Amino acid sequence: MAKIIKNASGNFLIVCFIFALVVGWIFSGWPRIWPLGGFDKLTTGELGVNKIRIPPKIQEAQAATTGNLVPVLNGGVAGTGWLNTGGTQCAVDGTNCYTEVDDTPGSHDGDTTHIRKGTEVSGLTTTFNLNISSIPDSSTITQINITFVCRRTATAASNMQSVRRIDGALTAFGTDVACPNNTTYVGGTFTQSHTSLSITKTASTDLEVGVRSTSAKAVYVTSIYAAITYTPPSSITAPSSVAMPNYTLGSLPTGYSEIDFSDVVQVTAYAGFTVTVSSTNLTGGGNTILASSVKLRTDGNIENNPTRIPSASCSGFTPTEPATNEYALDTAKNVVTATVGAGGTCNIYPTIKVYISNNLKAAQVTGTLTFTVQ
C-alpha cells in the first residue's frame, strides 16, 4: 500500500485510517465481532477501501414490545392434576395441552378447548413455551405482561396468578385474582405485569409463561398469552475510511497530523453506553508509527472540537466527553459515556492526532481505528 508523492513543496507522508467496528452488546459479556474482509486492489491515485461487515443500523429500534405471543409447546412444569379438554394429564415439554390455550388473543373459544385443574389441591402450576425468536439476541427483556382467561366451577373462590419460567427458574407473580363463577368466562380475563426485569435474551433463552392455582378448588383456563417488552441491543456505524491531512516531512525531530472528523461515528442505543477507540500501528512504505503515537484529543466540552458530541444530535442521551488530554490509543480509550434519556441515535466526531517522526520515508501509511460500543 506504499505510495510515494513528490512535488515542489516537499515530501509528504500520507496517513490514512480504515475502521473496524465492534459492538459489545450491553449486559452480554463477550462482545460480538464482525469479520473483516480484504482490501480492494490499489489503483493509481486510489486508496483501497477495507471491506468491513458491520451490524445493520437500527434506525427504528426502540424499547419494543413483541405483541401478544401464544404458547407453542407445553412447558417444563406440568403440575399433577392439570388436564386437557379430554381429561389427559398435561405432559412436561409435550404437545397435548398447549393447543388448548393458544386461542387468538382477545378471542378465546370458551370451553371448546381448555385446560383444567381436575384435583382440588392448592399450588398446582403449569407452564407453556413461547417462541421469542422475534426478539434480537442480546436484547434486554424488561417486562412480561401475562394474560390468562379463567373460570371456576363452584361458588367458593378459586384464585390464580400468573408465573414466568426463564431458563428453568420459576417465578410467580405474587398476587392472586379470583376467577369468576360462570361458564362463559365473562369477567375472567386478567393481565399481570412482571416488571423491573433484566433478562439478557440469547439464542438459547427458554421463556415460558403459565398459571398457578392457589386455591384447593377446580378451575378452567381457556387462553394464555404474553407480550414481552425489551430493549434492543446497541449498534455503531462509522465511515469506512478517513484520510488524515498530508504531512510535510521537516527537519524537527517530530511533527504531527491531526483531523477533526467530518464524517460521523453514530451510535443507536436505548440504554446508557460507552464508546471507546483504539488504534493499530500505522505501517507502509517501510515505515511504522506506533499506536502509542496515535492520540484521541479531547477538551471535556461536547459542543466544541477537539472531539464533538453535539447535544442536538444526541438528544436522547446525556453525553460526557473525557477531560482535556491526549489519550494514546495503543489501548482502548473512552470517547464518550452517555446516560440514557429517551434513547435513539448519538453522533460523535472524534479528533485524532498522529505524532510523526521526521526521519520517516515519504510514503502512505495506514492503520485501523476500532470503535466499540458497550
The per-residue pLDDT string of the chain (374 residues; one tens digit each, 9 = 90 and over) reads: 223 233 334 577 787 887 777 765 433 333 322 222 222 222 222 222 222 222 333 333 356 899 999 999 999 999 889 999 999 999 999 999 999 999 999 999 999 999 999 777 888 999 999 999 999 898 999 999 999 999 988 777 789 999 999 999 999 999 999 999 877 899 999 999 999 999 999 999 999 999 999 988 889 999 999 999 998 888 899 888 888 899 998 888 889 999 999 989 999 888 889 999 999 999 999 999 999 999 999 999 999 999 999 999 999 999 999 999 999 999 999 999 999 888 889 999 999 999 999 999 899 999 999 999 98
Query: Which pLDDT does position 33 carry in this prediction?
Result: 28
CA atoms within 13 A on the CB side of 189: 12
HEC-encoded secondary structure of 245-279: CCEECCCCCEEEEEEECCCCEEEEECCCEEEEEEE
Query: Which pLDDT does position 233 carry in this prediction?
Result: 86
Q: What Å distances lie between residue 327 and 249, 250, 271, 319, CA to CA?
A: 24, 25, 26, 18
**pTM, full prediction:** 0.65
Query: Which pLDDT does position 28 carry in this prediction?
Result: 34
In 110-120, which positions are buried (b, 16+ CB within 10 angstroms) versus exposed (e)? eeebbbbbeeb
Query: Which pLDDT does position 253 carry in this prediction?
Result: 87
Assign a CATH topology to domain 64-231. Answer: Jelly Rolls (2.60.120)
Domain boundaries, the chain: 6-62+234-373, 64-231
